[in-house]
């Protein structure tokens, strides 16, 4: 369990932050999206900086894939004024499949030596 948390803590945090922001946008219509988006992205940025300092990411692509989730939150929060429905769960599932699948591939002992060559030590 500790190993799982050690290798997946930022991904899990980002997943929960993604779902939390969408639920805030749905339930608090009186608060402008840009305010909650700014606060959420600030928190994610602080945790991202912590992940970078702890060398969490297994490769530059791993970092880039996590960055697409953050970019999606920024675009959704700043450019879409009204969120309705729960279709964001499908997006979250797709992000889990792509980002989580790639990270699982990177952390697997058989393939990690081949793929990690793109990340400078």
Domain ranges of the chain: 2-118
Q: What digits encode the pLDDT tens for the residues 23-47?
A: 998 887 777 788 999 999 999 999 9
Q: What is the pTM of this model?
A: 0.82
- Residue 111 phi/psi, 5-degree rounding, is -100, -15
Give residue 50's pLDDT: 96
- Give the Cα separation of 12 and 33 in Å (integer): 23
Q: What digits encode the pLDDT tens for the residues 74-118?
A: 998 888 767 778 888 989 999 999 999 888 888 876 655 554 445
Give residue 110's pLDDT: 63
Indicate the pLDDT class of residue 21, thresholds 50, 70 and 90.
very high
At residue 10's C-alpha, the angle toward residues 115 and 26, to 5°, is 125
Give the chain's largest Cα–Cα span: 51
State the angle between helix axes of 88-95 and 60-79 in degrees (0 to 180), rounded to the nearest 10.
Answer: 170
């Amino acid at each position: 369990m500790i190993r799982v948390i050690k290798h997946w803590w930022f991904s899990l945090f980002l997943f929960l932050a993604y779902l939390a922001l969408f639920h805030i946008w749905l339930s608090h219509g009186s608060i402008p999206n840009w305010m909650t988006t700014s606060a959420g992205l600030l928190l994610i940025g602080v945790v991202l900086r912590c992940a970078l300092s702890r060398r969490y990411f297994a490769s530059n692509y791993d970092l880039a894939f996590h960055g697409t989730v953050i970019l999606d939150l920024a675009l959704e929060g700043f450019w879409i004024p009204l969120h309705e429905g729960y279709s964001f769960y499908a997006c979250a599932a797709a992000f889990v499949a792509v980002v989580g699948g790639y990270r699982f591939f990177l952390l697997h002992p058989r393939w990690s030596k081949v793929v990690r060559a793109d990340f400078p030590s």
